[in-house]
Amino acid sequence: KFVGQRLGSFEILSLLGAGGMGEVYKARDTRLDRAVAIKVLSPHLALDEAFRARFDREAKAISQLSHPHICALHDVGHHDDVHFLVLEYLEGETLATRIARGAIPVDQAITLAVEICGALDNAHRHGVTHRDLKPGNVMLTKTGAKLLDFGLAKSSPAGADGMTMTSPITA
């Protein structure tokens, strides 16, 4: 839908995937001349204040985190009624895709588990609970595993256990 268009200074190159809240595109940041991933909130969801708030929560949750095994947030944008996140562009495949090809050798599985646990530990130390950990939300890159998609994340004060909810975030 957005391929060939621009969102601000970002030139949309190709569709990478789609999910419950929108689509993810490969784009070129024309200011810094680098590849980025653009996560666009679906236009029909952008009309719903609750979904816009959820999208904003995702941005705020990711912005609190800096870890080698968590996909970095570069920017948040709004252009012509399109809400989007600008994320680190990652080359590789999801853990789900890798698992579909067959068993992962034990030594590699342990390395991946340690990397994912390190990312989760970092998030929890910053008061962010991912809440959607699954193979499709882990990207395998040349430099290791990267945790993606904090769309269902719950933030609480740093150091809080995050286990007690006073109101639901999802229906």
Catalytic residue among 56, 75, 81, 132: 132
Q: Output the pLDDT for position 97.
A: 95
Supply the DSSP symbol for 75.
Answer: E
Q: Output the pLDDT for position 153.
A: 65
Could you read off the pLDDT of 123-150 as tens digits, one per residue?
Answer: 999 888 887 889 999 999 999 999 988 6
Beta strands in 20-166 (DSSP E): 22-29, 34-41, 73-79, 82-88, 93-94, 128-129, 138-141, 144-147, 154-155
Residues of the chain with pLDDT under 70: 150-153, 157-171
pTM: 0.82
Residues 6+ apart with CB under 8 A from 100: none
Residues 6+ apart with CB under 8 A from 24: 15, 16, 17, 18, 37, 38, 39, 40, 87
149 a catalytic residue: no
Query: What is the edge-to-edge ordering of all strands in the sheet holding 73-79?
Result: 6-7, 10-18, 22-29, 34-41, 82-88, 73-79
Q: Output the pLDDT for position 111.
A: 97
Q: Output the pLDDT for position 3.
A: 94
Q: Output the pLDDT for position 160.
A: 47
Q: Output the pLDDT for position 110.
A: 97
